[in-house]
Amino acid sequence: MTRHTLQYGLDSIRRRRGLAALIYAANLLLMLIISIPFFVVLNTAVAGSGFSEELASGFDLALWSDILEAHPEILPTLGWQLLWIVPLYLIWNTLALAGLGHALARGGHGSFWQGIARHGLRASLLGLMYGAVALVLIIGIGIVTALAASFGPAEAGAYYALTVLLPLLLLFAIALVDMMQDFARLDLIFGGKSVIRAFLGGFAWPVRSGAANGVYILWMLGSGLILLTAAALDLRMGGIFVAFIAQQLLLFARAAATVGWIGSEVAVWESEHMANAELIA
**The predicted structure's pLDDT at residue 46:** 66
Q: The whole model's pTM is what? A: 0.84
d(CA 32, CA 26): 10
d(CA 272, CA 281): 14
Biggest CA-to-CA distance, the chain: 75
**The predicted structure's pLDDT at residue 279:** 47
Phi-psi region of 7 (alpha: psi -120 to 50; beta: other; left: phi over 0): alpha
- Report the interhelical angle of 166-190 vs 210-232 (nearest 10°): 120
d(CA 114, CA 100): 10
36 membership: H or E segment, kind and range: helix 17-47
Q: Where are the domains of the chain?
A: 2-280
Other beta carbons less than 10 A from residue 158's beta carbon: 16
Length of the chain equals 281
**The predicted structure's pLDDT at residue 281:** 45
**The predicted structure's pLDDT at residue 70:** 67
28 membership: H or E segment, kind and range: helix 17-47
The dihedrals phi and psi of 223, each to the nearest 5 degrees, come to -65, -40
The dihedrals phi and psi of 161, each to the nearest 5 degrees, come to -65, -40
**The predicted structure's pLDDT at residue 128:** 96
d(CA 6, CA 219): 9
**The predicted structure's pLDDT at residue 102:** 93
- Report the interhelical angle of 2-15 vs 240-280 (nearest 10°): 130
d(CA 179, CA 68): 38
d(CA 141, CA 146): 8
**The predicted structure's pLDDT at residue 192:** 84
Mean pLDDT by 10 residues, the chain (281 residues): 85 93 94 83 66 56 66 73 85 94 84 94 96 96 88 71 89 96 95 93 92 94 91 66 84 96 94 64 45
